[in-house]
Amino acid sequence: MGRSARIVAAAFVAFGVSSAAWADEKPVKIGVIASYSGPYADYGRQFDTGIALYLKEHDGKLAGRPVEIVRKDAPGAAPDLAKRLAQELVVKDKVNVFAGLDFSPNAFAVGAIAKEAKIPAIVMNASSSAITTNSPYVARVSFTVEQVSDPMARWAAKQGIKKVYTVVADYGPGKDSETAFEKAFVAAGGTIVGKVRTPLSNPDFSAYVQRIKDEKPEAVFFFFPSGVLPPAFLKTAAERGLQEAGIKLIATGEATDDSYLAATGDVALGLITSHHYSRVHESEKNKAFFAAAKALAGNDLVPSYFAVAAYDGMAALDLALRKTGGDLDGAKIMEALKGLAFESPRGPIEIDAETRDIVQTVYIRRTERVNGELANVEFDRFDRVRDPGKP
Amino acid sequence: MTAPALETRGLCKAFGSFVATNAVDLRIAAGSRHAVIGPNGAGKTTLVNLLSGLFRPTSGTVHIDGQDVTRLGQHERVRRGLTRTFQINRLFADMTVLESVAMAVAERQGLGRRFWKPLASYGAVMDEAAQLIEGLRIADAAHSRTRDLAYGKQRIIEIALALASRPRILLLDEPAAGIPTRESRELFATLADFSADTTILLIEHDMDLVFRFADRVSVLVGGALLVEDTPARVASHPLVKEVYLGTAQHV
Amino acid sequence: MTGVVSPMAAPAALRGAGAWKPAELLFWTLPVIGWFAFPENLPLLTQIAITALFALSLDLVLGVAGMVTLGHAAFFGVGAYAAGMLPAYLGIGDPLLGLVAAAAAAALAGALTSPLMLRGSGLSQLMVSVGINAMLYEAANKATEVTGGVDGLPGVENTPLFGMWSFDLYGRTAYVYAVVVLLLLFWMARRVVRSPFGVSLRGIRLNAARMPALGVPVNRRLAVVWTLAAAYAGVAGALLTQTTQFVSINVLGFDRSAEVLLILILGGAGHLYGALVGAVAYMSIHHLLADIDPEFWQFWIGLIFIVVVLFARDGALGAAARIRDLIRNLILGRGASR
Amino acid sequence: MTILFDGIASGMLLFLISSGLSVTLGLMGIINLAHGAFAMLGGYVCVVALDRYGIPFPVAVLMATLSAAAAGVALERLVYRRLYGAGQLDQVLFSIGLIFVSMALARWLFGPQPQPIRLPGWLQGQVQLPWIEIGVYRAFLIVLGLVVAVTLHRAVGVTRFGARLRAAVDRPAVARGLGIDVDRVFVVAFAIGSALAGLGGAVGVELLGLDPSFPLRYLVYFLIVVVVGGSGSFEGSLVASVLIGIFDVAGKYYVPQVGSFIIYTVMVVMLIVRPQGLFGRPSP
């Protein structure tokens, strides 16, 4: 173990962060745990974009303190790795705050360390409801799957849709989405006529889509993680002519993730989705945010809800640190985070004082062409939506 | 009358429509040295495979000491004293000679399931292996890896592995294949030393060796037994001359 | 080495084979050095030790006995879940009991799957192992209510080790615990490999067709080592659960099966130490590269694999052996000694 | 009926994309896990040609096939040939290394997002017949799959090249003695394998999607086809692909809650019944 490990140590000295300054100049150290490699590497870049933009707008400081970012790569769902990295960030890098956290399992694992080390963790994406319940040192600025699925059900019911078929990817978030949708939809008087969970690595949707077509529901609600699955599903749905057969397609915003929408193509046109952020959200703040983030991210990355959450996470931390007067004590920061309310590029958001979870507006959008590019155009909204998973 | 050491009754083996072994009735008396000869493709190796349990017969039975072993696997027949060598070496390339022979000895002593003490610490095993290696005059190669040895030596190891299980019945499938005549003579001399009480069934091409070594000879043609007799009479049998010796000269 | 092997000399020459060589003893000082040299990296070192144990388990079946598998995470996962469910459902938090339960559960899984694994060989065997792994993963995914699915099983909390040492944030207890378990199981594996049983496994790998002719029930032996290796993998999984106090479905992931295979090949299969060296090398390189270049470390590690294969066959141990031979030959001036 | 059709189409796609592997792995005996990397190359070439340069779909597919073949030749010359004698484990490590490198390169060049593909109008939509609905693209896949199967069977199964290849693989020394240019035979065979991968990758984008993790995501599927079919047998690969396609699609339609269990169960059961594969030569 000796030699190789020494190389590791040497690298830390060379590339690590030196802790020089003290007193008021002592930096806020933020450990960002996210996917920087592998299929989900964009998530890490999105976070970086949001964080960098906020810091750029604030001279690289939070509440007057300089900021140091330590990035750690935990690609995909890798809780054991995430946990180890969190431990290292505490023991070695001595960070004051955890941030990032794209995948729920990783957030659960890091939440446990946060609790043990009394270091706040700001969840910038992971959307499983129980993350904030499990650890008192977690605050979330992103969303929960239930939070965006539930309004879709209510909206559908409002349109007079009675019979819905649900299709979700067969993993935790998929099941959460299915449950939340069903609960809200049935409560609003609708019926779920069929539901199916599809394997995560699923090359061919034809059988599922055929089945839906044969069932003839009024609408089909689907939830897939953003990436290859939504376009594959939409293509098959278009090929089989679901819309022509009078079956409406509704989904959560993952299906039309801003950063993948161009690649998804015209099959997404007309799709109704529910989510908390669209890059074409009508507000001055968003216009400025999106333009600046786009400039920062470069050509091949469209800033999405990941970047917004990262940006808001930094804003929340900034506000909290102002409240503590720059005190970096974990418990004090957590106290300060509770009940924060401020204007985000996505609209007004707040961190619930009780649950430390996000409360925000969820929008109903339709995929349309705006200036020649596909975009999620908001046309209806549900204000101050809480996570329905919380009591 | 005591049962023959090895016996087959109506033994048949077909691969698809090709009949490799056709109703073979073979009786090999205890202590005899029995050779099976026949032209290429006569089904000699198939016969050995059937006897040793590598193949299951299509029909017919195999008996050891009068007991039906047709349904027993290879290793179970070895436990009953029937061991074979292979026409093409089947050795343990990365083991030393001593290791592989010791392994075979350990298996015969029933130690193969012991998983705690090192093989090398079983004195009885190592002594027996060393003796066998010495007896076969390959002691100088004891600590060489099998893959590094010359072919002739490897051929002896092939036999050493079989002898390590102290067979009562030994099936030798062309033991001298591919080694020079002089060496094969020595090999057979050694074999004779080592297996005085062993029943031997020998498959061999070299007629000189067969006639010197065996006391009975069976001739296999087209999967069926043609003749069985003493070497001298087989050699002079007109049918044999025609189908076998006649062909052999062309080989 | 010429001359007659006397019946007594031969055993003497081999009898020493069981003793620990100086190089081995030196190797095992590394964990101690690691403790003092990298007190802040103990969680990483712990996971290296766990991965090493997992790779060791794979080496027992693949390197020693020659069974090809790309589904070894199945048993890692069974062990990890056993160790997680014990405290989560039964409230039994003792870590050592957890290890025993994990070993037992994984061994059972091994025993049950061994008939499937013994039907074919080579690629066919490989794909059966992939299938077993995938089916277990799917089963765990379907049973999210029981396993906690991707988000992890709630309530995995262990009591302090021997009632004295709790698993701390610095990972000190975890490190010592993992290393001691690794050493203990390595010692056992080392004995097993040198025993008659172990030698017969090597025989099966080198020439499976010959072994029945020596009286060896090949499938039974393979079933035993498969079960043993499953138990080892289960203990590795349990260690991961206990040292991270977390278990989720990713313990059963195909990635994990593939990664441990790569680690073993990288280190060199069949020598036991290859598994350890591979784990140390791969995890260190991975850690290092991921820190330097979090986005493209995969490129570099891929390149390393390619270079290793092209220029250093048989993994790190193979390369080390060649270098050792080269040096020995240079020093002794023996040229090609064999 | 539609389900059967979909199953066959899905199986044909599997066949198209795996048939190359039954050349490199099945016939040549290289554990070429990087097969998907060649398919991914084909996919990217096809998408770029279609999308950025507006090249017609058939030409783009041809370009994809040729570039994968070229990459195959280059890699064979440079590195693969040095692996023929190597142990299988080394081949595994090597080809996984190649996958990692190719994935990183793809990400560097095209970014991690999935690539869009726009098929020409004549390949889109569905034809409605009284008793069956036929997706045009799926019909295209079936036809293409059959064409490839027949061509392969002719080219490798019956011709002298096929005989030479088998000789070169089984007994390289003997083959050389017979005047066969073993090196060239291997290059050509490897090029065929890679070209088929490229072809499969190109026509597969529509259904499988395309992003840098492509080579790993579908690796298991390729292997299933080749192993279940029986190493080196195109007929086997074809039958296995279609069977798996039908089982998979029918399973998803009739018992959707079982999900991806089906494909693995089918595989394991088939391998338990016939360890050597459907059309494999039984080992003695």
Number of domains forming the structure of chain D? 1
pLDDT at position B250 over 60: no
Mean pLDDT across chain A, nearest whole number? 86
C187/D contact by beta carbon, under 8 A: no
CATH of B1-81+167-251, one of 3.40.50.1820, 2.170.120.12, 3.40.50.300, 3.40.1190.20: 3.40.50.300
Q: Do D97 and C269 touch (CB under 8 A)?
A: no
Residue D282 belongs to some domain of the structure: no
So what's the architecture of A2-143+284-356 in CATH?
3-Layer(aba) Sandwich (3.40)
Residue D188 belongs to some domain of the structure: yes
Average pLDDT over residues C320-335: 66
Q: What is the pLDDT of residue A192?
A: 93
CA-based nearest distance D97→chain A, Å: 14
Q: What is the pLDDT of residue C224?
A: 96
C190/B contact by beta carbon, under 8 A: no
A266 → chain D, closest CA residue: D118
Confidence label for C338 from pLDDT (cuts 50, 70 and 90): very low
Q: Do C214 and B84 touch (CB under 8 A)?
A: no
Q: What is the pLDDT of residue C3?
A: 40
Average pLDDT over residues D224-238: 81
Cα–Cα distance, B144 to C65 (Å, whole number):
22
Q: Do D97 and C306 touch (CB under 8 A)?
A: yes
pLDDT at position D92 over 90: no
Q: What is the pLDDT of residue D158?
A: 65
Domain A2-143+284-356 and domain A146-275+362-385 have a common topology = yes
> Chain C 159-198, CB below 8 Å of chain A: which residues?
169-171
Judge contact between A347 and A251, C-beta under 8 A.
no
Q: Neighbouring chains of A at 3+ CB pairs within 8 Å? A: C, D
C166/D contact by beta carbon, under 8 A: no
- Relative to beta strand A219-223, strand A248-252 is parallel
CA-based nearest distance B74→chain C, Å: 5
Residue type, B224: A
pLDDT at position C335 over 70: no
Judge contact between A51 and A98, C-beta under 8 A.
no
Mutate to test the interface with C, among D92, D102, D252, D262 (most CBs of C within 10 A): D92
User: Which residues from chain D sit within 8 angstroms of residue C301, using beta carbons?
Assistant: 97, 100
pLDDT in tens, C76-110: 999 999 999 999 898 888 999 999 999 999 999 99
Residue D46 belongs to some domain of the structure: yes
pLDDT in tens, C248-283: 888 998 889 999 999 999 888 888 999 999 999 999
pLDDT at position C4 over 70: no
In total, chain A counts a number of residues equal to 391
Is pLDDT larger for residue D135 or for residue A315?
Answer: A315
User: Which residues from chain B sit within 8 angstroms of residue C15, using beta carbons?
Assistant: 118, 120-121, 126
Among C123, C134, C299, beta carbon nearest to D264: C134
- Output DSSP code: residue C21: P
Rg (CA), chain D: 19
Q: Do C305 and D100 touch (CB under 8 A)?
A: yes
Cα–Cα distance, A347 to A361 (Å, whole number):
7
pLDDT at position D162 over 80: no
Mean pLDDT across chain D, nearest whole number? 84
Q: Do B142 and C10 touch (CB under 8 A)?
A: yes
Tokens linked to B96 = 């030393």
Mean pLDDT across chain B, nearest whole number? 86
Grouping H, G, I as helix, E, B as strand and the rest as coil, residue A9 is helix
Mutate to test the interface with A, among C142, C146, C151 (most CBs of A within 10 A): C151
Biggest distance spanned by C-alpha atoms of chain A: 69
Q: Do C48 and A1 touch (CB under 8 A)?
A: yes
Mutate to test the interface with B, among C214, C225, C272 (most CBs of B within 10 A): C214
- Output DSSP code: residue A40: G
B14/C contact by beta carbon, under 8 A: no
Q: Neighbouring chains of B at 3+ CB pairs within 8 Å? A: C
Q: What is the pLDDT of residue C314?
A: 65
Grouping H, G, I as helix, E, B as strand and the rest as coil, residue C121 is coil
Cα–Cα distance, A125 to A306 (Å, whole number):
6
Q: What is the pLDDT of residue C121?
A: 80
Mutate to test the interface with B, among C8, C14, C20, C337 (most CBs of B within 10 A): C14
Q: Do B115 and C217 touch (CB under 8 A)?
A: no
D268 → chain C, closest CA residue: C128
> Chain C 45-74, CB below 8 Å of chain D: which residues?
none
Confidence label for A314 from pLDDT (cuts 50, 70 and 90): very high
C297/A contact by beta carbon, under 8 A: yes
Q: What is the pLDDT of residue A226?
A: 83
Q: What is the pLDDT of residue C11?
A: 45
Among A39, A196, A211, beta carbon nearest to D112: A39
Average pLDDT over residues A281-300: 89
Domain boundaries, chain B: 1-81+167-251, 90-165
pLDDT in tens, B194-235: 777 889 999 887 777 888 888 889 888 888 888 888 888 887
- Relative to beta strand A248-252, strand A272-275 is parallel
Confidence label for C41 from pLDDT (cuts 50, 70 and 90): confident
A9 → chain C, closest CA residue: C38
pLDDT at position A84 over 70: yes
CA-based nearest distance B2→chain C, Å: 26
CA-based nearest distance B104→chain C, Å: 6
Q: What is the pLDDT of residue A23?
A: 44
Alpha carbon separation from D260 to A205, D29, D247 (Å, rounded): 12, 29, 11
Alpha helices, DSSP H, located in C16-61: 22-27, 30-37, 42-58
User: Which residues from chain A sit within 8 angstroms of residue C251, using beta carbons?
Assistant: 80
Among D93, D103, D107, beta carbon nearest to C266: D93
Is pLDDT larger for residue A159 or for residue C120?
Answer: A159
Q: What is the 3-state secondary structure (H, E, C) of A11-38?
A: HHHHHCCCCCCCHHHCCEEEEEEECCCH
> Chain C 200-229, CB below 8 Å of chain A: which residues?
none
Among A9, A78, A130, beta carbon nearest to C38: A9
User: Which residues from chain B sit within 8 angstroms of residue C2, using beta carbons?
Assistant: 140
Size of interface C-D (CB pairs under 8 A): 119
Domain boundaries, chain C: 20-254
Question: Could you give the strand order of the β-sheet that contains A65-73, starting from the edge strand earlier in sequence?
Answer: A61-62, A65-73, A28-34, A97-100, A121-123, A138-140
User: Which residues from chain D sit within 8 angstroms of residue A260, using beta carbons?
Assistant: 113-114
C6 → chain B, closest CA residue: B130
User: Which residues from chain D sit within 8 angstroms of residue A227, using beta carbons?
Assistant: 114, 211
Confidence label for B245 from pLDDT (cuts 50, 70 and 90): low
Is pLDDT larger for residue B63 or for residue A13?
Answer: B63
Grouping H, G, I as helix, E, B as strand and the rest as coil, residue C68 is coil
Q: Neighbouring chains of D at 3+ CB pairs within 8 Å? A: A, C
Q: What is the pLDDT of residue A3?
A: 33
Among D93, D264, D271, beta carbon nearest to C120: D271
ipTM of the complex: 0.85
Alpha carbon separation from A237 to A101, A218, A253, A281, D69 (Å, rounded): 33, 14, 17, 27, 34
Count of H-run helices and E-run strands, chain D: 12, 2
D78/C contact by beta carbon, under 8 A: no
Q: What is the pLDDT of residue A203?
A: 65
Nearest partner of D96 among D174, D165, D160, D37, judged by Cα? D37
So what's the architecture of A146-275+362-385 in CATH?
3-Layer(aba) Sandwich (3.40)
Confidence label for A11 from pLDDT (cuts 50, 70 and 90): very low
User: Which residues from chain D sit within 8 angstroms of residue C73, using beta carbons?
Assistant: none
C2/B contact by beta carbon, under 8 A: yes
Size of interface B-C (CB pairs under 8 A): 163
Cα–Cα distance, C136 to C138 (Å, whole number):
5
Is pLDDT larger for residue B186 or for residue A246?
Answer: A246
Residue D40 belongs to some domain of the structure: yes
Q: Do C10 and B165 touch (CB under 8 A)?
A: no
Average pLDDT over residues D212-238: 83
Q: Do A197 and D259 touch (CB under 8 A)?
A: yes
